[in-house]
């Protein structure tokens, strides 16, 4: 039996780098040698026990790599190809996929399989299900670092504006400028928003927010965010408010800062119930739309994300603030999980 190194979840606050069997590709599957991966905020929810997964699982879902082997039935991709893979891996054929909700493949949150219901990417190799649907080649001129985020935080961040149908000239507010929020800022601007207002308090994230295209960055510890947003939008409120962290406060502030008839576009992972402030919600008849989006996937979506990078319209490499080997990944978790050392994203090189 061939083995490989991987990060295995054993229980809350118990993850270990271990030798495990190298996966083998069955029909419609591919094995990818992971060349670069990263830690996602969702992995921190898993590590803390806030999002439960089964002990023994290899975690991680954001990565790029090289095709190591292919199972029967996978065409158009060859061994040795450099590829990007979605963090979610829909089947393409079930009720949910065919009903226009591939991220919910198989049932609620079901499209998210890597490091959730099947082995993930913080390993030397990973097995890709439904490979035909979920893999896109990386153009030679792009580095792994340039495309590392296309399968998760970039597609997720951009989806906030896609889902809300941001129009040219819109005012958009984004609450929280962590990695996903920063990608949402880039996406809002690319979608045509001409006033992008972001809310954050960590100085280096506020600075990065400006670099990623925010017109106005508000520090919620220093100003009344809602009145500032109203002030910057002629008293109306924003057309779209994006929630990018998953707390009651930010969810509520989205509802309070959006104009009547506007859209609250939620990306955060919530660990508790959230409540809707009735006054701001117009007692339920304010024409305010609340929507949530899980990471969109599929090879065509990946190709579109890569084309944004390739065209020079976005550069997300400044988000990589640290790099670790797989052996040192626990240090990566410590720094990323505790937001130490001005961290934004840590790259892991197996
Ligand atoms: Zn993620
Ligand atoms: Zn499906």
Helices and strands per DSSP (H, E), number in the chain? 11, 16
- 251-278 burial by CB neighbour count: b if 16+ within 10 A, else e? bbbbbbbbbeebbbbbbbbbeeebeeee
What is the C-alpha to C-alpha distance for residues 85 and 272, in angstroms, rounded to an integer?
30
Using the mean position of ligand 2's atoms as its centre, give its distance from the Cα of residue 28 in Å: 14
User: Residue 165: what pLDDT?
Assistant: 98
What is the Å distance from ligand 2's center to 232 Cα? 43
Nearest ligand to the C-alpha atom of residue 112: 1
Counting ligands in written order, which one lies closest to the CA of residue 103? 2
Q: Which ligand is nearest to the CA of 133?
A: 2
Cβ-count burial 63-101 (b if 16+ within 10 Å, e if not): bbbbbbbbbeebeebeeebbbbbbbbbbbeebebbeeeb
Counting ligands in written order, the one closest to the CA of 155 is 1
- pLDDT on residue 213: 97
Distance, in Å, from the CA atom of 310 to the CA atom of 66, rounded to the nearest integer, reads 19
| Residues whose CB is less than 8 angstroms from the CB of residue 251 and which lie 6 or more positions away in sequence, other chains included | 243, 264, 266, 268, 270, 274
Cα–Cα distance for residue pair 66/140, rounded to 1 Å: 12
Residue 96 CA to ligand 2 center (angstroms) comes to 6
Ligand 1 center to residue 191 CA distance, Å?
A: 22
> How many Å lie between the centroid of ligand 1 and the Cα of residue 292?
15
Instruction: Find the 234 Cα to ligand 2 centroid distance in Å.
Output: 44
Ligand that comes closest to the CA of residue 268:
1
- pTM for the model: 0.97
Per-residue pLDDT of the chain (350 residues; tens, 9 = 90+): 899 999 999 999 999 999 999 999 999 999 999 999 999 999 999 999 989 999 999 999 999 999 999 999 999 999 999 999 999 999 999 999 999 999 999 999 999 999 999 999 999 999 999 999 999 999 999 999 999 999 999 999 999 999 999 999 999 999 999 999 999 999 999 999 999 999 999 999 999 999 999 999 999 999 999 999 999 999 999 999 999 999 999 999 999 999 999 999 999 999 899 999 999 999 999 999 999 999 999 999 999 999 999 999 999 999 999 999 999 999 999 999 999 999 999 999 99
Domains, in order of start, for the chain: 3-152+295-349 (3.90.180.10), 157-292 (3.40.50.720)
**Torsions phi, psi of 64, nearest 5?**
-135, 165
pLDDT in tens, 33-65: 999 999 999 999 999 998 999 999 999 999 999
């Amino acid at each position: 039996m061939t083995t490989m190194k991987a990060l295995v979840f054993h229980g809350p606050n118990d993850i270990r780098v271990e030798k495990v069997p190298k996966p083998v590709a069955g029909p419609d599957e591919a094995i990818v040698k992971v060349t670069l991966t990263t830690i996602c905020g969702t992995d921190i929810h898993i590590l803390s026990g806030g999002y439960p997964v089964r002990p023994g699982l290899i975690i991680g879902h954001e990565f790029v790599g090289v095709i190591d082997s292919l199972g029967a039935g996978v065409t158009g991709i060859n061994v040795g190809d450099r590829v990007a893979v979605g963090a979610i891996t829909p089947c393409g054929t079930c009720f949910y996929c065919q009903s226009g909700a591939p991220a919910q493949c198989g049932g609620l949150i079901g499209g998210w399989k890597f490091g959730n219901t099947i082995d993930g990417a913080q390993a030397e190799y990973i097995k890709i299900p439904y490979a035909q649907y979920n893999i896109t080649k990386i153009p030679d001129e792009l580095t792994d670092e340039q495309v590392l985020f296309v399968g998760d935080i970039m597609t997720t961040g951009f989806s906030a504006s896609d889902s809300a149908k941001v129009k040219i000239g819109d005012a958009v507010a984004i609450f929280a400028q962590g990695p996903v929020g920063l990608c949402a800022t880039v996406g809002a601007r690319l979608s045509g928003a001409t006033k992008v207002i972001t809310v954050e308090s960590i100085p280096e994230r506020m600075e990065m927010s400006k670099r990623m295209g925010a017109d106005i960055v508000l520090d919620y510890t220093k100003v009344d965010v809602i009145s500032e947003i109203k002030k910057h939008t002629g008293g109306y409120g924003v057309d779209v408010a994006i929630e990018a962290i998953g707390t009651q406060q930010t969810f509520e502030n989205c509802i309070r800062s959006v104009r009547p008839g506007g859209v609250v576009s939620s990306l955060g992972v919530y660990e508790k119930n959230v409540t809707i402030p009735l006054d701001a919600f117009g007692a339920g008849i304010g024409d305010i739309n609340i929507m949530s989006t899980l990471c969109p996937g599929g090879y065509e979506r990946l190709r579109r994300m890569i084309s944004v990078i390739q065209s020079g319209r976005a550069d997300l490499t400044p988000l990589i603030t640290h790099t670790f080997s797989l052996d040192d990944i626990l240090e990566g978790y410590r720094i990323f999980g505790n937001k130490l050392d001005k961290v934004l994203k840590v790259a892991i090189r197996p």
